[in-house]
Structure 1
Amino acid sequence: MTTPADVRNVRDPELPGRLLAVERDALIPLLRGRPEGDFALPVPACPGWSVRDVLAHCSAAFTRVLERRYEDGVFSPESNERDIAERAGWTNARVLDELEHGMTEAGPVIAGAGGALDGLALGEWVHAGDVRDALGEPGAYAGAGLPYALALLGQVTGRSGRPPLHADLDDADEPLRFGDPSGERPPARYIGDGPTLVRLYAGRSVDGAAYELAGMEAAELNIFGG
């Protein structure tokens, strides 16, 4: 049996920035080429939000990071809604400009935060998948950023004490470990592809996906749902 590779224990501070740079190079040209009406489409993963709302939330989050604005309640639902409302009068192009700038410049700030902002980078990558999904783009949570996202997911889940999981991925050369192995709970086992595992960890719909999960309920994986 192949021993799962441990992607949890040693933090790579440059990893979030690499993930965001790869995603920027794929996402921004895609969005700049979409018609204006697409920005009003609803995002199923984020009820009540449009594509533009999700992008405004992401661009605002990066700006807060770059400006080191971490006041009480930052990234709360109320704060997110305020950020979106503040950009209501902006053109879509201006929102994309802010988003592109943030994805380009936030990496070093995240790297220097000692891991506290790694989950933000991962969440922004997931939101890019949410947007692709809303636009009907194939491979919403896949693409060139997936290996970086899986590695970052391993680091985030390992540090946050999530239940241990061994993942045999269809699209990876070797099994990977996620979560914290220090407790008494034996590792759960996942068999399937990487994008579906990301969806599970992000609390996104996996309807119609073929996968196996043993030793854990799917809801226990959700790192964004509390």
Structure 2
Amino acid sequence: MESVRDPELPGLLLRAERDALVPLLRARPDDDFALRTCCPGWTVRHVLAHCSSALTRVVDNRFEEGVFTPASNDRDIAERADWTNARVVDELERGMTEAGEVMAAAGHGMLDKIALGEWVHAGDVRAALGEPGAYEGEGMAHALALLAALTRAHKSLPLLARLDGHDAPLVLGSDSPEPAVYSGSAATLIRLVAARPLTGTRYELTGATEKELAFFD
């Protein structure tokens, strides 16, 4: 079955997360931006600076050679070292507002994946801040639809996801008569494909290992 792309999904996901995350960040004291996240070596501020810089690159169409590598990400974060936390959040808000239109016009692939990665990083921030529903929220339906489209396009490992509270299973990855099967919550599925900590979760997985489901590098 050929993957069908919805060009509006990245923007819908980013704007839904903007409306939830930005007010939360603006209400937090500066000390909270120094909290450590599950991303090795990165605080909340580092994650937000990475997210805001990535979206600014999308909006401004700046994709020089070597962009989005660990070294490039570190440079983008360092460039914002003298910024206030409020300025970082301002840049993030602008990116979440404007990047969707650029992603829709650009087509499949890296830019759509950036949108999903931004949403996952928002979950990393929520988890670090102790907020409930770290990898859930209003954008979940858009995130799952985007994940399905991206994994099919990338011909990822085939997976049938039976999600709690969902009538129909979610089909990920390439076609297969015998896909791996996941049973559990949508939030835990996101943790699996994003290689995030699974402490305190409960799920069943047959036909694949956790590492095989990781979609992000």
Whether 1:215 aligns to 2:207 is yes
Other-structure match for 1:3: none
C-alpha distance in 1, partners of 2:106/2:188?
A: 29
SS of the equivalent of 1:216 reads coil
Other-structure match for 1:102: 95
In structure 2, what residue type is equivalent to 1:132? Answer: R
Other-structure match for 2:193: 201
Select the structure with the greater relative contact order (CA < 8 A; seq sep ≥ 6). 1
Other-structure match for 1:15: 9
Q: So what's the TM-score if we normalise by structure 2?
A: 0.97
Other-structure match for 2:44: 51
Other-structure match for 2:132: 138
Following superposition, which runs of at least 4 residues in structure 1 exceed 6 angstroms of deviation?
none
1:118-177 residue CA offsets vs partner (Å, 9 max, x unmatched): 100000000000000000000000011111100000011000010111111003232110
Unpaired segments of 5 or more residues in structure 1? 1-5
The RMSD of aligned alpha carbons is: 1.2
Deviation at 1:197, TM superposition (A): 0.2
C-alpha distance in 1, partners of 2:70/2:100?
A: 24
C-alpha distance in 1, partners of 2:35/2:162?
A: 35
Whether 1:69 aligns to 2:30 is no
Taking only the aligned residue pairs, the percentage that are identical comes to: 62
SS of the equivalent of 2:205 reads strand
Whether 1:152 aligns to 2:154 is no
1:180-200 residue CA offsets vs partner (Å, 9 max, x unmatched): 11x6x7201000000000000
Deviation at 1:204, TM superposition (A): 0.5
In structure 2, what residue type is equivalent to 1:215? Answer: G
Q: How does 1:118-197 map to 2 (within 5 A)?
A: 118-181=112-175, 186-197=178-189
Other-structure match for 1:60: 53
C-alpha distance in 2, partners of 1:172/1:204?
A: 22
